[in-house]
Amino acid sequence: MVIMSIVDFGKILEVKRYSANTIKTYTTFLGQVERYFKRPLHSISEDELFRYVYKLIRHKRASCSTQKQLINALKLYYREMCKETINLDAILPDRKPFKIPEVLSQDEVGKLLTAIKNIKHRCIMATIYSAGLRVGELIELRVKDIDSARMLVAVRGGKGNKDRYLPLSQKLLVMLREYYRQFQPINFLFEGQKGGRYSATSVNQILKAGLKKVGIAKKLSSHNLRHSYATHLLENGVDIRVIQELLGHNSIKTTMIYTHIAKPSLLNVVSPLDL
């Protein structure tokens, strides 16, 4: 048996070109398992892992997504690091519960952006909404990824380690130019106070503060701005398959969820921030 640490596992995944978000998620889950059992992963039996997952679901109310990611992380660890196959398929969720995503109206988005006076914070919210970005994609954006000549935003290494281009909103470009003059970011488009990537937690804190300021009681995360982007495109006539490409979804089935909250008609693609 080849036994290596969770840190080594993360390095293996990096070499295999897994996304930074997947590596962080998997290693975090595995670290939690080791801390719970207080011994190395390779010494934990399948029965013990089953009981651990059951406890997370029964007592900690773990989501379907968390359950699936944890099990996939464990299976991958044992395969890559221990050269063993563990059978946890019996505790994989059969189906993900169907939930209609919570979205803001275009008017609510407008009020939110107006209420955020800090230009950096406003640009962060506007960038997510205007391009439908995942928070992980936002914090990975580089200054060079904003192509004002072609009016495109380059998303590199998105979910599934895929690149894609998105339309750059004219209104967002104006905001970004003001932000750039004030903050002069060097590498990442949005940098933390000490440089480097901006914190995903801080992004959600900006949204929470903004919603409170305008009196919107909905409990949302930055991902709901992505949901709002897709919904508003659909409501304004953008074809569902175009939205699939813009969101970077592998399957049209994932994108079809927005048909439950919007009525599409065919129009040209325009960023909802410009509508």
User: Could you list the active site residues?
Assistant: 134, 159, 223, 226, 249, 258
Place of tokens 């962060």: 124
Q: How far apart, in whole angstroms, are the C-alpha atoms of residue 157 and residue 134?
A: 12
- Structure-block tokens of residue 185: 């970011």
| Neighbouring residues of 215: CB distance < 8 A, sequence distance ≥ 6 | none
**Side-chain half-sphere CA neighbours of 103 within 13 A:** 24
Helix-helix angle 46-58:20-37, to 10 degrees: 100
Question: In what side-by-side order are the strands of the sheet with 152-155?
Answer: 146-147, 152-155, 164-167
How far apart are the C-alpha atoms of 119 and 213, rounded to whole Å? 16
Residue 262, CB-side half-sphere exposure with 13 Å CA sphere: 29
The CA angle 186-192-195, to the nearest 5 degrees, is 45
- Residue (of 108, 97, 105, 99) closest to 68 by Cα position: 97
